[in-house]
């Protein structure tokens, strides 16, 4: 019994009877080394959908395209073909044999192209200039009609014409047709060892077009507009105001605008510093900017301390309180003194991103290196709702203030969730933002259960949803040694990293503070305990707003509590 694809015959109804009879005959009478494909669809050269009634494949005899006709066909003395259907004649543009030959000519180049792409040592490389390497031919089948050689057109032969009588012994008829062509074409047999691979990988590969989160995210990202009229107003204001303060909630594009502001000022010939508190945010910005200096604030302080005689870094064994005091108070003084002692100002303009993170004394240090000092060109971007470090620093006097009111980062579903953590400057979701999916919330009652659930989620996102590791981040209120990932080198089949540079092929973990100002397609927000001091409403707002498209929250108690 032949191997049939599909495994069920055509329906027994008007218009399908001939193909059904042929299908059942091929299935019944051809031995199991024959593969028969019915209704094989293909794209023709003119972009139309074509269909091959039957394609028969044999390891030694090659390929045979069979055009099947019900009722009868005839050609008049003027050479016009027609077929009889439901008692009436219908014109045909080609004879059944010409139809089969046209289908074969459309099929062979596609098969040859796929042969070149098959990664299988069994297949011999197919040269681009050569023809199709295996034996092939055509035939026409008339399960419900009779035929005689004298009545066949010149393009046909009784060996490639299957009439109703031939279906009494269709195996002999098929072999005769395939041998008819193999004698006329010097081609190689496919071979028994290759027949399954040829049919499955070249001729009829399994196709699976499944909806994945990766595809959904790409579609959602296409809906976002990167610059609004109010953002363009910020860029225009750079020309008119020496000092500019831009306020906006998470997702309003502050970092994008800070980058553009630094670029524009540098293009005008200014010596520009683009700075922020977060080291990783500074690294991300630095990758995108060539003509301005980019550094996180304490990186500047560290350079000043290394070049200073009067300041030393704290000892490695100093407690956390002393370490924190040094970087909050002593390091900015070292920077101030270093910049103030220089012969000329280091920068013509300073752009500060995430300015709400800066303490009052830090501004003094920066302005010491700015041409014009406290009157020099300064552009500050901030969101008071993200002041998770409780510095509450007093900013320099800036009279011109511009608000940003539209969220460009988050889907509407995520925006609605983080709106519970509303502030005085909460933005509105952009009207063209994609809807997206609401955050998925899971409660945990132990670190072990939480870790297992995160592992299952990561594996699902990468293997089933086809997301890449660089689209994901796991955020926790504290560093990895103090989080659910303590003592974990990998989770869900992915190695964990704490650095952006290694996150292309590994799963990035970061604390909320360490990732502030950055974003990812998918955020897994873990260890959410509203009673913990590092999981304040401001911290939860920051963490959740890092998610562009999907947000997963692992909570010990209601993650939106106390807001």
> Of 202-206, 237-241, 301-305, 466-470, which range is least confident?
202-206
Q: What percent of the chain has pLDDT over 90?
A: 47
Starting at the edge strand that comes first in sequence, how are the strands of the sheet with 72-75 ordered?
72-75, 81-85, 88-92
Query: According to the model, what pLDDT value does residue 112 have?
Result: 79
Gap between the Cα atoms of 121 and 488, Å rounded: 40
- Taking 80 as the threshold, does the pLDDT of residue 8 lie above it? yes
User: Cβ contacts of residue 446 below 8 Å, gap of 6+?
Assistant: none
Place of tokens 């395939």: 178
Summarised one tens digit per residue, pLDDT across range 535-550 is: 999 999 999 999 999 9
Could you report the per-residue pLDDT of 260-277, keeping only the tens digit for each?
Answer: 999 999 999 999 999 999
pLDDT at 228: 62
State how far the Cα of 357 lies from the Cα of 257, in Å rounded to an integer.
Answer: 18
The mean pLDDT value for 232-254 works out to: 85
Q: What average pLDDT score do residues 382-410 get? A: 86
As a whole number, mean pLDDT of residues 203-214 equals 69
Average pLDDT of the segment spanning 112-120: 71
Domains present along the chain, CATH in parentheses? 3-203 (no CATH), 225-408 (3.40.50.300), 440-555 (3.40.50.300)
User: Taking residues 464-474, what's their average pLDDT?
Assistant: 93
What are the pLDDT digits (tens) for 329-350?
Answer: 999 999 999 999 998 999 999 9
How far apart, in whole angstroms, are the C-alpha atoms of residue 541 and residue 546?
9
pLDDT tier at 87, thresholds 50, 70, 90? low
Chain segment 9-41, per-residue pLDDT in tens = 888 776 678 888 899 999 999 999 999 999 888
Q: How many CA atoms lie within 13 A of 465 on its CB side?
A: 20
**Confidence band of 123 (pLDDT split at 50, 70, 90):** low
User: Which is more confidently placed, 116 or 262?
Assistant: 262
pLDDT at 208 over 60: no
- Which residue has better confidence, 504 or 143? 143
pLDDT above 70 for 120: no
**Residue range 508-537: mean pLDDT, rounded:** 94
pLDDT band at 144 (very low <50, low <70, confident <90, very high): confident
Dist CA 213 CA 84 (whole Å): 51
Judged against a pLDDT cut of 80, whether residue 167 lies above it is answered with yes
């Amino acid at each position: 019994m032949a191997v049939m694809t599909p495994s069920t015959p055509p329906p027994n109804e008007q218009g399908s009877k001939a193909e059904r009879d042929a299908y059942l005959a091929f299935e019944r009478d051809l031995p199991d080394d024959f593969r028969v494909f019915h209704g094989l669809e293909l794209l023709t050269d003119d972009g139309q959908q074509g269909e091959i009634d039957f394609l028969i494949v044999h390891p030694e005899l090659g390929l045979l395209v069979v055009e099947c006709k019900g009722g009868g066909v005839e050609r008049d003395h003027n050479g016009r073909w027609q077929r009889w259907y439901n008692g009436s004649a219908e014109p045909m543009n080609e004879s059944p044999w010409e139809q089969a030959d046209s289908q074969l000519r459309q099929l062979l180049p596609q098969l040859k192209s796929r042969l070149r792409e098959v990664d299988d040592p069994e297949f011999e490389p197919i040269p681009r200039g050569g023809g199709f390497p295996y034996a092939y031919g055509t035939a026409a089948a008339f399960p419900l009609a009779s035929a005689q050689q004298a009545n066949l057109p010149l393009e046909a032969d009784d060996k490639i014409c299957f009439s109703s009588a031939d279906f009494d012994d269709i195996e002999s008829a098929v072999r005769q047709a395939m041998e008819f062509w193999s004698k006329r074409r010097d081609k190689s047999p496919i071979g028994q060892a290759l027949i399954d691979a040829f049919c499955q990988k070249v001729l009829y590969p399994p196709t699976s077009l499944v909806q994945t989160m990766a595809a959904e995210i790409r579609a959602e990202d296409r809906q976002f507009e990167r610059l609004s009229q109010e953002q363009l107003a910020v860029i225009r204001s750079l020309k008119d105001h020496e000092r500019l303060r831009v306020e906006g909630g998470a997702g309003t594009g502050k970092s994008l605008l800070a980058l553009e502001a630094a670029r524009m000022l540098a293009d005008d010939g200014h010596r520009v510093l683009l700075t922020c508190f977060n080291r990783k945010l500074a690294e991300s910005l630095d990758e995108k900017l060539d003509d301005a200096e980019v550094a996180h604030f304490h990186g500047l302080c560290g350079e000043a301390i290394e070049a200073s005689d009067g300041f030393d870094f704290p000892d490695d064994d100093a407690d956390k309180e002393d370490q924190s005091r040094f970087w909050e108070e002593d390091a900015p003084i070292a920077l101030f003194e270093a910049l103030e002692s220089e012969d000329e100002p280091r920068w013509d303009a300073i752009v500060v991103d995430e300015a709400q993170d800066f303490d009052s004394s830090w501004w003094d240090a920066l302005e010491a290196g700015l041409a014009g000092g406290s009157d020099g060109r300064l552009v500050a971007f901030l969101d008071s709702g993200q002041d998770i470090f409780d510095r509450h620093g007093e900013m320099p006097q800036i009279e011109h203030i511009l608000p940003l009111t539209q969220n460009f980062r988050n889907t509407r579903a995520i925006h609605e969730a983080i709106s519970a953590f509303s502030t005085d400057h909460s933005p509105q979701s952009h009207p063209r933002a994609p809807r997206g999916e609401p955050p998925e919330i899971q409660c945990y009652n132990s670190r072990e259960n939480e870790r297992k659930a995160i592992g299952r989620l990561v594996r699902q996102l990468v293997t089933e949803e086809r997301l890449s590791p660089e689209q994901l981040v796991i955020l926790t209120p504290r560093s990895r040694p103090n989080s659910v990932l303590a003592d974990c080198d990998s989770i869900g089949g992915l190695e964990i990293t704490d650095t952006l540079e290694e996150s292309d092929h590994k799963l990035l973990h970061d604390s909320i503070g360490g990732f502030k100002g950055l974003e990812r397609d998918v955020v897994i927000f873990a260890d959410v305990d509203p009673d913990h001091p590092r999981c304040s409403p401001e911290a939860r707002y920051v963490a959740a707003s890092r998610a562009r498209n999907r947000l997963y929250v692992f909570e010990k108690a209601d993650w939106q509590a106390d807001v």
